[in-house]
Amino acid sequence: MKGEGMKGINKRAKELEEELQEEVFGMSENVSTSMPIGCTTIFDTGWETNPRPDSPVGNCISSARDFTSCSGPCWWPAQTPDNITNFPDFQNQCRAVERDWRNLNFVIKR
Amino acid sequence: MKHRSLGILAMVFVLCALAGAFSPAEAKDFLFVPVSNALQIVDCDTDTVVKTVPAYNDYIMSAAPSADGKRYYLNAQHSVYVFDTATHQLIDTFRLSSDLNRVTILGFAVSEDGGKLYLSCSITKKKQNVPKLNVLPPQLLVFDIPSKQVVQSFEIPYCVSGVFTLRNDPNHLMLVGLDIHKIQLSDGKLEKVFGFLHPDAGGEPANNFIIWYNQSPGDPGIFVNAYYTPSAMYFLNLDRNTGEIKSVKASDIFMLYSCVLSPDKKYVYAAMDDVVKFDAQTGATIKSVTLERGTSYAVSITSDGKKLYVGPSGTDITVFDTETMTQLGTIPLEADGVAVHRISQ
């Protein structure tokens, strides 16, 4: 809740402001590439986006076969459970996606 | 005279029998396959799962055997599990994350002497009652296995997903990501030795997807992986014996997740939607086969180079004859997985 113009009024608050200024590194800074990083910790945007107009197509067959690794490094954060941060134990519900996909509850938590 | 000849023959027979009894037993190949919540072990003679060890409760992003093949390390992103490959027992767990210090391991390697782990990490720190996350620059952590302590850390470039030891140089590592850097372990000094995204003047920028390292203890020690420019596919050859880096232009373009070099270094086998055999020297395609079971992540090869294992990604590994590239069978697994490594015992 740090507002513009708000300043620490005691010693501890001032120390805290100084500490935070020194320690915070924004992800957007220090990155020497224009490629998106965000949740995806690997620099590539994915073969599945198919950068070429014709063959090789590069789409995974079937998409379920590519689920396991994609959910790991947050490759498709919208389509797979983010098991780095929000759903670290998704594999307990879904040990094999082709068999257990109905058990996934990462959209609506029960 | 007759008795003497018989005696000599008997002695020769006994000596031969003793020699046979005390000669080292021929090593057998096993596949170690970490799947969700269990480590599975496959006997490469019978191509069947011979053991399932439900010793952890985690998703495994990558794995690596030690150089002597005695330990198998599983990267569960926030922690590392250690298995004894002889007993198949989970013998240790290194937890690197806490509530206020989130460490995510992107790639790792085991030192050649087996005493350290080198971990490429993304670290996010949080302070109690302070609603702010501090995302630190990426770090290489040097983790001492006997003391279970991080003993060194160095700032490294973003997106380092591949960490490689050099077999004859314990003082440096190769870090593979947007480019390849050699890091000096005494002081963290970085030297760019190969450019993917930032090539030398006149070169085309390239892209790679280096997550898998399908190494086996005692293999030729050359990491091979495909990388791509807008117009061509190349094989990166990183020789861990010498530190030399070589590129081989492929004759065709396939989308490939990972590769393995044959024991005689003549062929590269690679997979994603297809499994493909290439000439390692020329990059020429020898044969490609579309995978019936679908996309697969990893590849592994037997120590005699005769059988190729493709997978997992879903719950199976497909076996191929490397000579003919015909499918020999499919090994069902208990759950989805990402990695496979052959260890001979």
For position A77, what pLDDT does the model report?
Answer: 62
For position B115, what pLDDT does the model report?
Answer: 98
Closest among A75, A57, A56 to A66, alpha carbons compared:
A75
A65 phi and psi angles, rounded to 5 deg: -70, -20
Tens of pLDDT, residue by residue over B127-156, are 878 777 788 889 999 999 999 999 999 999
> Looking at the complex, does the CB of residue A29 fall below 8 Å from at least one CB of chain B?
no
Query: Containing H/E element for B79?
Result: strand B79-84
For position B64, what pLDDT does the model report?
Answer: 98
Distance of CA B240 to the CA centre of its chain: 13
Q: Which of B35, B158, B294 minimises the CB distance to A31?
A: B158
Q: What percent of chain B has pLDDT over 90?
A: 74
Q: How many CA atoms lie within 13 A of B228 on its CB side?
A: 20
For position A16, what pLDDT does the model report?
Answer: 74
Residues B78 and B97: beta-carbon distance below 8 Å: yes
Tens of pLDDT, residue by residue over B203-239, are 888 888 888 999 999 999 999 999 988 889 999 999 9
pLDDT value at A74 more than 60: yes
pLDDT confidence tier of residue A26, bands split at 50, 70 and 90: very low
Cβ neighbours for A94, distance < 8 A, ≥ 6 positions apart = A100, A101, A103, A104
Query: Containing H/E element for B220?
Result: none
The structure tokens listed for B60 are 């495994």
Q: Which of B197, B255, B294 minimises the CB distance to A62?
A: B294
B197 phi and psi angles, rounded to 5 deg: -75, -30
* Average pLDDT, integer, range A18-29: 53
For position A42, what pLDDT does the model report?
Answer: 47
Nearest chain B residue (CA) to A42: B159
B190 phi and psi angles, rounded to 5 deg: -105, 140
Tens of pLDDT, residue by residue over B20-53, are 444 456 789 999 999 999 999 999 999 999 999 9
The structure tokens listed for B141 are 């952590």
pLDDT value at B286 more than 70: yes
> Looking at the complex, does the CB of residue B258 fall below 8 Å from at least one CB of chain A?
no
Considering only residues A75 and B269, tell me which one the structure prediction assigns the higher pLDDT.
B269
> Looking at the complex, does the CB of residue A47 fall below 8 Å from at least one CB of chain B?
yes
Tens of pLDDT, residue by residue over A50-72, are 544 555 555 677 778 888 887 77
d(CA B340, CA B301) in angstroms, rounded, equals 10
Q: Which of A66, A82, A89, A100 is catalytic?
A: A66
Considering only residues B222 and B294, tell me which one the structure prediction assigns the higher pLDDT.
B222
d(CA A4, CA A19) in angstroms, rounded, equals 18
- Neighbour tally for A56: CB within 10 Å: 17
Considering only residues A74 and A108, tell me which one the structure prediction assigns the higher pLDDT.
A74
B136 phi and psi angles, rounded to 5 deg: -75, 160
